[in-house]
Structure 1
């Protein structure tokens, strides 16, 4: 659907929900949803999202995740104005102004979230969403089992993942999962944002960090770090890791663990059919130490 169709869809859904739209600017780049900033006839500005396809619990899960981050972990998130199966309306956010101070503020925010929400079980009370696919969140008291089953192996039965990986690839991934207790030191679960990459980090009117589009669950805090560490980001974000590592007292070798923890995102990319930047090759590189059959050619 082109931008004109997207604008009509989002504008129509807003009007059906009782919002008097005066102007609308649709944001580019949406895959799952159509999103944009709307100016209402009473000069109020809102951020709105709607689905191109049929309604589901996507927006209910997203709004619940935003509230959980704010209420349980003190994370700044946009206020939820309205949520329906077809529409999510939020308070407006502003573009992120990259600078070391901004990333330092975010480091304090994430360290506080992870410290204040430490728990004993991994998972969440309901499944969520990562992109267009379900994020499985069944409770588990074993973090290594949870990460293996719900964050790595969960993606292998997806049709596009089955097509991308041969038997040797799958066995290498399974061996890595079996070795997780040796690769990831024991650590209690904390509430995670779950999709912490640069596009989900915005700002409030004063330039302070605001987080959007969560995929929450209780899991290893380092899982949040891996998403940001391994995805493209501005050079100023190095300050985030320096501050977070000190405040959260990260265990030694945390940088080496980032690619392993990022497997969840890479496998999701493949399962979604978005492998246009080498996710399959990166996965093979990460699991190479666990591949017993060397591929030739």
Structure 2
């Protein structure tokens, strides 16, 4: 199995993109570094930790709860601890997208994220990702620090390519299409709302939500009047389960679905994120609030309600439908 390196992350060079015929490696920070040929072992995670991970002894392996898609484990070694996620049924493209997102956020030097080290295939099928282990403190902490650090990330990381990301990735287990576009409204209408609406029609045979949702997607322009939209690096799936605080009380964000988009889209999961007044106050001191912010909040929630509808069933349909109908009345379309 050939292995290529992106910064400090290594990947199998044969991995496909989630929805593309081949995966492009965007960062290519070590162009002069030769390919390293590694033999498949019975336990590639252990092999990496005891070689490139600089450990000579694995003291213990402990399961960590909290995930519903992947299995999480802590490897305690004499070189420190490593956090490992495995999935027995999904190929490495999902974890590669996660690693690229984590690395992009890590390199901003703003909010803390676990540094990714290695993504690969399991010999019995499935895949794994090895990353930095962060010792967590309280699950709730300084909301002002969270808002400020998140805004600093948005301000620091912009894309000259426009809106999208280097690869397609996943939002939960749903494919998230990140093909680059120069226009944010078009990108959000097609790759975010449009994709989810098509899934709902195919999965549930739901023509009503599809037709009304598409009508909304075609008429989003007035919601962005007098708004300056820059392609900021977004975590993409920021809810309470994907953010915490380390033992020093500093905010940490995890499990991203990264792409470059309108910074306000980061608040699309606010209905289950617990953002308070201190969070928004600190955020807007770094990234000032733009005209019409309150009118667009539900639009960005809609994407995630549609995704929950597609992932978890009809319990989320009414929330999505209500937002669509409210906007159709507001826009008179």
Q: Same fold (TM over 0.5)?
A: yes
Q: 1:223 aligns with which of 265, 269, 273?
A: 265
2:255 to 207, 213, 224: 213
Q: CA deviation at 1:266?
A: 1.5
Structure 1 residues 139 and 167: alpha-carbon distance in aligned structure 2, compared to 1, 3 A threshold: same
Report the CA distance between 1:240 and its aligned residue.
0.8
Matched, 1:263 2:294: no
2:293 is the alignment partner of 1:254: yes
Q: Deviations over 1:18-65 (max 9, x none)?
A: 55544333233422211122323x273221101121422122221111
Question: Where do residues 139-288 of structure 1 align in structure 2 (5 Å cutoff)?
Answer: 139-158=180-199, 161-164=201-204, 166-185=206-225, 186=227, 187-227=229-269, 229-233=270-274, 237-272=276-311, 274-275=312-313, 278-288=315-325
How far residue 75 of structure 1 moved from its aligned partner, in angstroms, is 3.2
Mapped to 2, the partners of 1:126 and 1:76 lie a distance apart of 22
Residues 106-127 of structure 1: CA deviation (Å, up to 9, x unaligned): 1111111122224451111221
Q: What's the counterpart of residue 64 of structure 2?
A: 27
CA contact (8 A) 2:167 2:178 kept: yes
- Structural mapping, 1:283-294, within 5 Å: 283-289=320-326
Stretches of structure 1 that go unaligned for 5 or more consecutive residues are 1-10, 293-297
Query: Aligned equivalents of 1:184 and 1:150: distance in 2?
Result: 17
Does 2:76 match 1:39? yes
Shift, 1:230, TM fit: 2.0
Call closer, same or farther: CA 1:63–1:44 in 2, change over 3 Å. Answer: same
Which residue of 2 is the match for residue 6 of structure 1? Answer: none
Deviation of 1:163 (Å): 4.3
Quote the offset at 1:73 in angstroms: 6.0
SS for the counterpart of 1:124 is coil
Question: Does the 8 Å CA contact 1:128/1:135 hold for their aligned counterparts?
Answer: yes
Summarize the Cα distance change of 1:98–1:87 in structure 2 as closer, same or farther, 3 Å threshold.
Answer: closer
Residue of 89, 93, 98 corresponding to 1:53:
89
Whether the aligned pair in 1 keeps the contact of 2:138 and 2:249 (CA below 8 Å) is yes
Q: Is the 8 A contact 2:216 2:327 kept in 1?
A: yes
2:129 to 51, 66, 88: 88
Match of 1:126 among 157, 163, 167: 167
Per the alignment, in what secondary structure is the counterpart of residue 213 of structure 1?
coil
Structure with greater proportional helix content: 1
Residues paired across the two proteins, number: 274
Matched residue SS, 2:72: strand
Confirm or deny: 8 A CA contact 2:106 2:114 kept in the other structure: no
1:62-73 equivalent positions in 2, closer than 5 A: 62-72=98-108
Question: SS in structure 2 opposite 1:55?
Answer: coil
